[in-house]
Amino acid sequence: MDNIRIEKKFVFGKYKEDYIEKVLLLNDFNKIFPDRYISSLYLDTINFDFAKNNISGISDRKKIRFRWYNNNISEINMEEKNKINFNVWKKIRKLQIDSNKKNLLIKLHEYFDNKFNYQFILKTNYKRSYWLSNDKKIRGTIDTYISTNPANDDFNIIQLNDTILEFKFNPTDEVYFRNFFNNKISEFRSQKYSKYVRSFIELENSGLIK
């Protein structure tokens, strides 16, 4: 398992990024490069097994998505994100697809349909800022302006109104992170959060996924 890591997520309401940034700065975190806008197109089985496994709390699960940054669809990655208990790792493959925004889904279908038995479910968009602790042991990200829409419908967009703080670190630094958490940010509450599942539930409740 390459690039294995542990992820800890903290969920806040809308417009909480300034507060979170102040907490990070006070605890010797620094921004490491400019913010990026992330777009992800998620796939699932015909029976929505990826979503259902996450909701059910199955420890061994995965998700598959296409991802690109800052609306640059000339550089798209296909990612398979796997998780067993708290350990997370990704398999990333860069795609070479000649497409534009209007025909992107068609081109991805052409690339994908003959290889795997999955369907395109939904898309998410959000803004992400990137942080790193001074000792370089803990990476942090803050996600804001999170929205979702069905994969084949760019007009019915739902705003999720969440702000997500996520810490990522090597499993060998788990004790170090636990000490940092208990001593510095113990008022925060880590919780399970998946943009895909959160979006899936919102779109399903709105009748946009059936």
Q: Is residue 119 part of a domain?
A: yes
Compute mean pLDDT per 10 residues along the chain, 210 residues long, and list them: 86 96 97 97 94 91 94 90 91 83 80 75 98 97 98 94 97 96 93 96 95
Q: How many other C-beta atoms can be found within 10 angstroms of the C-beta atom of residue 158?
A: 17
Q: Is residue 210 part of a domain?
A: no
Number of domains in the chain: 1
Domain that holds residue 131: 5-205
What does the pLDDT read at residue 117?
78
What does the pLDDT read at residue 105?
83
What does the pLDDT read at residue 115?
62
Q: Is residue 189 part of a domain?
A: yes
What does the pLDDT read at residue 113?
63
Q: Is residue 16 part of a domain?
A: yes
CATH of the domain at 93: 3.20.100.30
